[in-house]
Amino acid sequence: MLLKKLSDVSKTEMQKLLSRGSGLEDVEKMVSAVLLDVRTKGDAALREYTAKFDKVELENFEVSEEEFEKALSSISPELLNHLKSAAENIRAFHEAQLPETTWFMELKPGIVLGQKATPLESVGAYAPGGRASYPSTVLMTVIPARVAGVEQVIVCTPPRQDGSIHPLTLTAAKIAGADKVFKLGGVQAIGAMAYGTETVPKVDKIVGPGNVFVTSAKMQIRGVAEIDFPAGPSEVLIIADESADAVMVASDIIAQAEHDPSAVSILITCSDTLAEGVKREVLAQAEQAARSSIVKASLENAAILTADSLEQCIDFSNRFAPEHLEIMVSEPDFVLDKIKNAGSIFIGNYAPVPVGDYASGTNHVLPTSGYAKLYSGLNINHFIKYSSIQKISKSGLESLKETIIALAEEEGLQAHADAIRTRFGYKPCK
């Protein structure tokens, strides 16, 4: 874990912090080979790679209705209620994002412009597995798609070693409204949804987070299916001042670190006292963590930085463009106003990242590795396309005629200009 004054961080150290070492280049060729096999061999390739990577031999990938029923019956009523409560909050937040379906405006007499919002026809949601199951990710990806009106939503998630899917993940898929769930993980799952196989339907768009292999696969299939954004190993950046509690800050760093050995956790503060206190707490809590080995590996990517001013903290945060940004300062609105790049923002000592991970209703599928500079976190607009509309009368066109003709002819597109003239008596063929 790096503990340094911001001004003393070397160029090499800064580059490592900002780049996060995504590793996409290292896996590109291998991922490309798997995708090619899935595209050309279909289900046969899926069986081959599921056996190779997940150590499971499956004849059927699609989860049966009996498996859904068995999963539901195995979950306690209390846990089921918690899952439904989280789903309700996620649904409510995303319903608030819904755009007006169709709208019009009169630009001037005879010229009416508008826009029509149409949901995508099919979406594939990827929910990671491996080190943990993520029913929360199923809720976060499927519910917004359903709220947006997507016709078909499927889920792919890695099978466990006995060939099953975690009961809570299957139940989450039912509650969220998924049409089908497939026992598929990794690159082969992304390829199956992108290209379609004998079993898995092709989709228009793939959403959801994953490891470096999944992220690389998503980036490579964009010619045949759209994606949400690169969403790789998780990260948090915390801006805190002397008003923050060292135990709370450290617990948030540990919570992020337990995700994955590649997860990144950074604290930047103007308080040397807080920095030292957080370091002590992080090291102590790491020893007691349930996933201690993962936490300790992840802390190799962690940093505690001290700055000379809150403005320096803000500037570093905007350069870093974190997936999760926690603001734990006495005047949070001052900081919030100056934040330009962040996937999801958590304000106050009682708004740790797990709030958004599970139950507040905001989406936890977010851009990582600095992509928050370019992309928004998953939201309703990821599942909707927009068509512009023009209703033009003859008088309306007449008011635009000279402008269109002049610009078309300047670009050398005579037929464009003639398409306007013909509506006012001009005949191209005499």
166 labeled binding residue: no
Residues in the chain, total: 430
188 labeled binding residue: yes
What count of other Cβ atoms lies within 10 Å of the Cβ of residue 75?
A: 16
Q: What is the DSSP letter of 373?
A: G
Q: 127, 211 in Cβ contact below 8 A?
A: no
382 labeled binding residue: no
Q: Is 324 a catalytic residue?
A: yes
In this structure, the strands spanning 384-392 and 111-119 are: antiparallel
Q: Where are the beta strands (DSSP E) in 298-343?
A: 303-306, 324-328
CA 3 to CA 413: how far, in whole Å?
Answer: 62
259 labeled binding residue: yes
115 labeled binding residue: no
211 labeled binding residue: yes
Find, among 312, 258, 71, the residue nearest to 171 by Cα: 71
Residue 179 burial (CB < 10 Å; 0-12/13-18/19+)? middle
Q: Annotated catalytic residue: which of 94, 166, 324, 382?
A: 324
363 labeled binding residue: no
Q: Is 323 a catalytic residue?
A: yes
Query: Helix, strand, or coil here: 267?
Result: strand
CA 93 to CA 80: how far, in whole Å?
Answer: 20
Q: Annotated catalytic residue: which of 226, 258, 323, 326?
A: 323
Q: 399, 111 in Cβ contact below 8 A?
A: yes
CA 75 to CA 203: how far, in whole Å?
Answer: 31
234 labeled binding residue: yes
CA 156 to CA 187: how far, in whole Å?
Answer: 11
357 labeled binding residue: yes
152 labeled binding residue: no
CA 289 to CA 353: how far, in whole Å?
Answer: 17
Residue type, 44: A
Structure token pair of residue 193: 């949804």
Residues within the annotated binding site for NAD(+)?
Answer: 126, 188, 211
**What residues act catalytically?**
323-324
**Binding residue positions:** 126, 188, 211, 234, 256, 259, 324, 357, 411, 416
Q: Which residues are annotated as a binding site for substrate?
A: 234, 256, 259, 324, 357, 411, 416
Q: Which residues are annotated as a binding site for Zn(2+)?
A: 256, 259, 357, 416
